[in-house]
Structure 1
């Protein structure tokens, strides 16, 4: 059985290299192409695939621990891999046997999967402008996607499309073709290196066997996407703690109105570092708690258990609880870092502001206020959380469609899920 120690030993040399280049990449706005490729070559994309099938056999809690380590080194990287992680999780439990075997082989061969789900503009909520046509063994995709986190680094993109009859499908589109254009036009103030920009499909071709119904997507999908974001927050908090400890320990100058001749002995500064440490460890504990819930949902789904739906609901509630906390405390900890340091800490050469910018951006992906409301509605009224996340304009027909989707989702007993929200540098 794979252990977290073995996994860390495998990837720690890469993480050390990643961490050493983070500051330069941040200041130069240089995409971590080499880091993504190094992780892929070391088998990061196969972490969740069972050992007997050729992968590294990690549990979801073990994967989460790795993601926290990776986020501490560079918070962009776990988010870049978010779409790949969700795609792998889907093929592990998909009822489409041929699809599973085909994509397991590709991923074991080193293929990296990106994400292209969300659209911006005036598209109705619950509908998509990206279309697919299927003729025999071939299919074509046409449309524009944004928040396509990870795809600029990937070989294929996990794309949500809509057919002429209104049905929605997952299409795995090869990206190395003239009919695909990917732009690094994500202009967020944080998580700037996730490649969360635009993909334009202009009759992009793929095999029809790489198209499956969206309704067959795994039920705990949304929780997996959110688990990655919780892990990113935990990693950012760990990086803030490490920077605070190192900077305070190294400071030799102190204020005349301070409390000690050395900053490292000043009780007020030590209190600040202690608060940051508490947030870091709490975030890691919350991430593990969510990971345990997601593991239970995976086990129930893989076993086709009648408990699958209740397990999926628990993952939604667990991830929401964690995000309500981390979305508030991690950006605060990133701000408190500056309370422990002097004016030199705000110089651009330190790039310490990246921690707050990145944490705030992650917290903005899916508004935590709505998640807090859903938790309260579950606790007080027993109302299950929504599984169909989307954003867009609303018409009466869209409202009716959303209701029908919710009904179908309930009937599926948790074995299908839904679209991550627009803010997907989710990116996935």
Structure 2
């Protein structure tokens, strides 16, 4: 066995304050333009570049490979800080950190080491999994076909979060030769990849979650990866990103309501003080929102702990320990989603109880917090998450690690 194959350091954590200190000035710069980008629906291309150049995409890469060796709870804390500045950026990086995690879980190899180097060099990975229209659950229209010493990728994906910012895209596809499900990691620096910013949702509008079309796109043979080898806790990892988005949105609400109350000079004749900042009922609203956000942030970080356990158990040679860790990662991320979504949606609505009707003006874009939180909370129906938790607690039914969406009728329309 070569030294590259036997060398397998793990990312168990680093000094969080030192790590966060490096990125906080960038987060502050990102926050400065967040409202303007929302008004103009301007994609944060420059802001993503700042993060790339600072090595943000490599924080989970082991220190021995030039990364920061951050644990998953530490990554979630960083993503919350970024989402406080602009929640769109945290979600835009969702696919990137999922693919990084998959490579962290891969067996040591020269191919894995090359990916670590790409991450450290600043390469970002986008996401392209979803197909819409007359596609039944389980079917994959996007195909990857062998062509000499490489593969050819053809198909169309939607909701390709972050792909407009990416150097590579993690594509869920099917082999044309044997029907096997794979991940095809395709470079965006070629004519065969066409990306559009056509996401038309009312929230998270600058995540670059648009359509991606692959037409005879080249994929190197080593980048066609059997989906069966995908890391087990991937669904939980994707949900941790959304939890960070929600918690960061909550912290932005907390920041904005305190500032607007502090600066407001107009009062109601039937209020409780000559200044809004001194009105005890308004203070109570702000305090309650702060408590909701505190609980959401603490829950999101706590939910990342079993995922870190699952990552470390992957190499622990104890199958039952790894199984229990993967179950915990899925169940605890689901529990967190159910409660954090409710906490932040309530905070986003209560925000307006502390301010007058002028807070609803479009130019203030305070409504973005509710719109963003509602959009993120809609990604995976909370009713199904709650049902999975209940089935596990009552019947011991292991949660699903992979799920799909598609046409469920007998005949696709």
- Asked if these proteins are the same fold (TM beyond 0.5), I'd say yes
Contact 1:73/1:239 (<8 A) preserved? yes
Q: Do structure 1's residue 301 and structure 2's residue 314 form an aligned pair? A: yes
1:104 aligned onto 2:126: no
Separation in 2, partners of 1:246, 1:395: 51
1:257 aligns with 270
* In the alignment, structure 1 residue 174 sits paired with structure 2 residue 187: yes
Q: Which residue of 2 aligns with 1:283?
A: 296
**1:26-425 aligned within 5 A:** 26-95=38-107, 97-164=109-176, 165-306=178-319, 307-394=321-408
Size of the alignment, in residue pairs?
Answer: 398
Secondary structure of the structure 2 residue equivalent to 1:103: helix
- TM-score between the two structures when normalised by the length of structure 1: 0.91
Kindly state the Cα deviation for residue 396 of structure 1 after the two structures are TM-superposed.
7.2
1:22 aligns with 2:22: no
Q: Secondary structure at the match of 2:398?
A: coil
**Distance in 1, Cα, partners of 2:31 & 2:223:** 36
Quick check: 1:41–1:110 contact (8 Å CA) kept in 2?
A: yes
2: CA distance, partners of 1:99 / 1:396: 42
- Deviations along 1:335-372, one digit per CA (max 9) or x if unpaired, are 11011001121111111000000000000000011000
Q: 1:251 to 1:397 in 2, by over 3 A?
A: closer
Q: Cα distance, 1:13 vs. partner?
A: 1.1
Q: Please give the alpha-carbon distance, in whole angstroms, between the structure 2 residues aligned to 1:265 and 1:92.
A: 52
Name the Cα RMSD after superposition.
Answer: 1.5
Contact kept in structure 2, 1:137 and 1:209, CA below 8 Å: no
Structure 2 gap ranges (5+): 1-12
TM-score of the superposition, structure 2-length normalised?
A: 0.94
2-structure distance, mates of 1:250, 1:21: 20
**Residues 214-252 of structure 1: per-residue CA shift (max 9 Å, x gap):** 000000111110001001100000000111111112222
Asked whether the 8 Å contact 2:293–2:343 carries over to 1, the reply is no
* 1:185 positional shift: 0.3
Structure 1 portions without partners, runs of 5+: 399-428
Q: Hey, what's the Cα distance between the residues in 2 that align with 1:286 and 1:115?
A: 26
